[in-house]
Structure 1
Amino acid sequence: MRRVSKITAACAITAALALTGTACGSSSDETSTGSDNGQMKIGMAYDVGGRGDNSFNDSAARGLDKAKAEFDAKTKELTAKNGESKADREQRLQSLAEGGYNPVIAVGFAYKDAVDKIAPQFPKVSFGLVDSVADAKNVDSIVFTEEQGSYLAGVAAALKSKDGQVGFIGGVDLPLIKKFAAGFQQGVLDTNPKAKVQIQYLSTGSDLSGFGSPDKGKAAAKGMLDKGVDVVFAAAGGSGAGSIEAVAGQKGAWSIGVDSDQAMDPALAKYKDTILTSVVKNVDTGVFDLVKSVKDGKPLTGTQTYSLAKGGVSLTTTGDHLTDIQAQLDAAKKKIVDGTIKVKSTT
């Protein structure tokens, strides 16, 4: 789907691309802290953009930081680069497992194949996979009901839009991002059947550049604004910063952030008055839960689904922009939680 001052230099899932070499020959951002001496060792493999992306990877980083502090753990962080091969991702996970890190946490669906291959080779190591479901038995698959949080964002967009024209910008045309689009569109239309939802993706297929191209996000948002859209939700990693910037330049328009509370990010603070809300995906909770389970000697395995009911996804209230519509949002949330509203995961 987690910070933004670095996004302008980004060429992948978000902003902070301070890329260095790894043993597998790919560029990666590596940070290692602490000493062995019996310490718990936690390995984190970020997706492109890594720590500092103001969104998805940063949410995972918060969970790592909490675990490091609470358990006095040693941590090592490696970051993928845009356009790398499956072998690069495999080598990244293998190097962490061989280095004695346990758990090893892979952030992003793009690691699924690598986890499926490497995890069975290290049966005594607990692996975590965020945003996809792995086949190996020693893996905790950490997934979220993104469509549910996005539904609430759609309700908010419909209620705040002056004429019912809203837009969705997806980083890459992939099933995961389509969950955001589907929930958002359903929330808008359930609230205002006469509304129109424009949906646009910045890249397709294996081209993940749509997650780290703020210029593309800005251009897409500007194009929508020029067509009368006045609320834009971008689920596009680092590209979302460009969308937020574009919306801030349009009087009366609102942007909706994703994965982290983007109105609270120092690099986006100047736009906070036009950030209506953010659809937060609490990756940090999933990361911390896995680390704690390993620390307790009872590693989580299988699929852990962090839903709206469990606080896995939510809308932020920074700036109090939702105060006048909070009752409607609470009513919609209740209906999702009790099953009255079934949120679609495909458009």
Structure 2
Amino acid sequence: MFKKRIAILAACVVVLATILAGCGSKSGTTSGTSGKSAFKAGMVTDTGGVNDKSFNQSSWEGLQSFAKDNQLKVGTDVKYLQSTQASDYSPNLNQLVHQNYNVVFGIGFLMQNDVQNVAEQNPNAKLGIIDAVAVGKDNKPLKNVASMTFKEEQGSFLVGVVAGMMTKTNQVGFIGGVNSALIKKFENGFKAGVKAVNPKASIDVQYAGAFNAPDKGQAIASTMYTKGADIIYAAAGDTGNGVFTEAKDRTKNGKKVWVIGVDKDQYAQGLPQNVTLTSMVKRVDKAIYDVATKAKAGKFPGGQVLMYGLKENGVGIAPTTKNLPQKVLDSVNSYKQKIIDGSIKVPTTDQEYQTYLSNLK
């Protein structure tokens, strides 16, 4: 009888434990308020890192702004994973996908293959990529990826106008990160803008081969400035920070030179020596915010190629204009309108640039 009672009691304990376990697992799936699961958005940086003062940082600022406006917790509901090498891309993307983040962004065209592979392996996941179009094996846009692209050549044309009008030596420079179709858009747009207002100006172009090599950026800038360039446009991520270092060192020593920043308003980057002439702002923060907002509203633009240009306020010159005379600003605004209305087609490739030059004559 005693053994029978013990067996009944043990069975009751097991049943009770099962009920409690079920309650526990249910509460463990919720976060935020009102017992509802919070929307989660994450991003993976490229090797430039989240503090590159360029497009990784701008992307993270856009995601943080989205978190603030939607009462989401930064670090849990919204977070980033930093990549120190290219082999980190896929593991980082997969980590966020497997942690059930509702939308996961890959920052930069260097991540294109990784985003494509992760998207195909996880068809129910929603991903976004900056500066590339994610396609499947059929070469068509993947239905679960939003591709965010920009007309960098248009904004670069405007800062080229600034450089062409403000150079005192008639020599300017362009430093790119990785020589690619994307950065060629920056280069050719910039050269076209310079030549539009100053056909006699010479433009020195060099590539660092990396977006995370500020020492190399500084060395290239040193050579360009020594040869006579007084303005350098750097489209090179963290590598471009070395250009600022070189410009500040030279200005501190009595030789005034300028840098044109990229992606963000990099005016503060040029202080205290005040070497930032202007910046080509590329609103990756706006793109990230827009796609995250649509995803949360159940309107994720999967399979779409989103394009942000001057007309969409996706690119342009920085709001800080204290180093630009009104005459230069008026010219920039005039060219901006001509680009928007189609009077000027800004070149994106070397071949288009050569055609553009021939039409100027």
Q: Do they fold alike, i.e. is TM over 0.5?
A: yes
Distance 1:274 1:287, change over 3 A: same
Post-superposition offset of 1:328: 0.5
2:346 matched to 1:343?
yes
Taking only the aligned residue pairs, the percentage that are identical comes to 40
Which structure has the highest helix share of the two? 2
Provide the rounded CA distance (Å) in 1 between the counterparts of 2:53 and 2:347: 27
3-state SS of 2:63 partner: helix
5+ residue gaps, structure 2:
1-29, 136-141, 351-361
Does the Cα contact within 8 Å between 2:280 and 2:317 map onto a contact in 1?
yes
Give the one of 185, 203, 213 matched to 2:191.
185
3-state SS of 1:280 partner: strand
Post-superposition offset of 1:123: 2.8
Residue 334 of structure 1 corresponds to: 337
Does the Cα contact within 8 Å between 1:109 and 1:132 map onto a contact in 2?
yes
Give the one of 263, 269, 272 matched to 2:267.
263
Please list the CA deviations of residues 290-335 of structure 1 after superposition, one character each: whole Å capped at 9, or x if unmatched.
1100111111121000001111001114251123311100011011
Amino acid at match of 2:176: G
Provide the rounded CA distance (Å) in 1 between the counterparts of 2:321 and 2:281: 15
Provide the rounded CA distance (Å) in 2 between the counterparts of 1:128 and 1:112: 10
Residue 53 of structure 1 corresponds to: 52
Provide the rounded CA distance (Å) in 2 between the counterparts of 1:69 and 1:109: 27
Residue 295 of structure 1 corresponds to: 296
Post-superposition offset of 1:35: 4.6
Amino acid at match of 1:66: S
3-state SS of 1:211 partner: coil
2:201 matched to 1:200?
no
Does the Cα contact within 8 Å between 2:195 and 2:201 map onto a contact in 1?
yes
Amino acid at match of 1:309: K
Post-superposition offset of 1:262: 1.1
Residue 165 of structure 1 corresponds to: 171
Please list the CA deviations of residues 116-144 of structure 1 after superposition, one character each: whole Å capped at 9, or x if unmatched.
11113333322100010011111110011
Post-superposition offset of 1:47: 0.8
3-state SS of 1:95 partner: helix
Post-superposition offset of 1:191: 1.1
Please list the CA deviations of residues 214-246 of structure 1 after superposition, one character each: whole Å capped at 9, or x if unmatched.
111111111111111111111111111111121
TM-score normalised by L of structure 2: 0.80
Does the Cα contact within 8 Å between 2:49 and 2:84 map onto a contact in 1?
no
Does the Cα contact within 8 Å between 2:42 and 2:96 map onto a contact in 1?
yes
Does the Cα contact within 8 Å between 1:168 and 1:234 map onto a contact in 2?
yes
Does the Cα contact within 8 Å between 2:43 and 2:79 map onto a contact in 1?
yes
3-state SS of 2:158 partner: helix
Post-superposition offset of 1:264: 3.0
Residue 40 of structure 1 corresponds to: 39
147-156 vs 121-130, which deviates more?
121-130
Please list the CA deviations of residues 184-236 of structure 1 after superposition, one character each: whole Å capped at 9, or x if unmatched.
01111111111100000112xxxxxx211211111111111111111111111
Name which structure has the greater RCO, CA cutoff 8 Å, separation 6+.
Answer: 1
Post-superposition offset of 1:59: 0.6
Amino acid at match of 2:291: L
What aligned pairs does 1:90-129 form with structure 2 within 5 A after superposition? 90-129=90-129
Provide the rounded CA distance (Å) in 2 between the counterparts of 1:279 and 1:225: 21
Provide the rounded CA distance (Å) in 2 between the counterparts of 1:52 and 1:166: 27
Post-superposition offset of 1:76: 2.7
Post-superposition offset of 1:252: 3.0
Does the Cα contact within 8 Å between 1:40 and 1:72 map onto a contact in 2?
no
Provide the rounded CA distance (Å) in 1 between the counterparts of 2:218 and 2:121: 43
Provide the rounded CA distance (Å) in 1 between the counterparts of 2:263 and 2:44: 18
Post-superposition offset of 1:269: 2.9
Provide the rounded CA distance (Å) in 1 between the counterparts of 2:31 and 2:191: 49
Does the Cα contact within 8 Å between 1:260 and 1:281 map onto a contact in 2?
yes
Deviation beyond 4 Å, 4+ runs, structure 1: 34-37
Does the Cα contact within 8 Å between 2:211 and 2:237 map onto a contact in 1?
yes
Which structure has the highest strand share of the two? 1
Provide the rounded CA distance (Å) in 2 between the counterparts of 1:252 and 1:97: 49
Residue 226 of structure 1 corresponds to: 226
CA RMSD after TM alignment: 1.6
5+ residue gaps, structure 1:
1-33, 204-209
What aligned pairs does 1:208-219 form with structure 2 within 5 A after superposition? 210-219=210-219
Between the two proteins, the alignment pairs up a number of residues equal to 302
